[in-house]
Chain A
Amino acid sequence: MTDHAPPSLLEELPGDLMMWVLIISELLIFGAGLVVFLSLRISDPIGFAEAQSHLDRTSAAVNTVILITSGYLAAKGLHLRLNARRTAARLALVVAAALGAVFIAIKSAEFADKAAQGISYDTHPFFMLYFLLTGFHAAHVVAGVLVLLLVAWRDTPEDVEMGAAFWHMVDLVWVLLFPVIYLLA
């Protein structure tokens, strides 16, 4: 009779441990940014609300749907790859990356619109944190698109799992950034 020891806590964690270290680190960084954002808002809630009224909530909401759908395709891509359906997995990953590119295009238009309105990082503390947090997140989206394309090309199951996990982290950060920066008036 074979003994089956239950998996240790670390063994239970799906995917690569280092990817989880990265995910937790990123969540802490962005989480700290959101705490600073709402802490600064305490001293000037009216100024923050006025500044927030210059943001385009509709395009940000569209971007949320885009990232959620892209994350779904990345997760689907991993499932397909684990079932040895490599072509379908690659297609899912490439479409996920393409949706990430759409997110960047919309975000770029949003930043261009702010520039056209004469709004920059030093217009108000709100905008300093808006540009810092959403810009830093957008940089992660760019990196994530490249990672998704890379793992679609070099598609070992481990690499696809890591690439998808990075993408889900980008997704997770956005669903926390979006309501705080765009919606909490």
Chain B
Amino acid sequence: MDALTRAWLALLVFSGLTAAASTLVGGGADTRITGIVVLVLALLKSRLILSRYLGLADAPAWRRGFNLSLTLFGLLLLGLYLFPTL
């Protein structure tokens, strides 16, 4: 199986886990925890798309830059999301 197909399957798995986390939200789970899980999964998905779909796996410096930027952006979103609960 090639790297692209593995990436697609991983994206499907991450999407399934996201759906499971959203079901937990509906079931009364702590939304802070499920929110963190959902954002981490979104970050993992975006990294895979950049790396395998857009080909940054062959451009490690750019991949590191994008991953760092996305991680910082994810932390900003997480901070804004959790702010009302503080």
Contacts and interface: CB of A to CB of B under 8 A. Distances in A.
Contacts of B31: 184-185
Contacts of A68: 8, 11-12, 15, 45
A183 B42 CA distance: 11
A163 interface: no
B68 to A, nearest CB: 14
Given A61-B19, A183-B21, A183-B38, A38 B49 contact: no
A81 interface: no
A61 B22 contact: yes
Nearest to B10: A68
Interface of B: 4-5, 7-8, 11-12, 15, 18-19, 21-22, 25, 31, 34-35, 38-39, 41-42, 45-46, 49-50, 52-56, 58-59, 61-62, 73, 76-77, 80-81, 83-84
28 contacts: A12-B62, A13-B62, A14-B55, A38-B77, A38-B81, A41-B80, A42-B80, A42-B83, A61-B18, A64-B15, A65-B12, A68-B8, A71-B53, A72-B8, A76-B4, A165-B54, A168-B53, A172-B46, A175-B42, A176-B42, A178-B42, A179-B38, A179-B39, A179-B42, A180-B39, A180-B42, A183-B35, A184-B81
Interface of A: 9, 12-15, 23, 31, 34-35, 38-39, 41-42, 45, 57, 61, 64-65, 68-69, 71-72, 74-76, 79, 164-165, 168-169, 171-172, 175-176, 178-180, 182-185
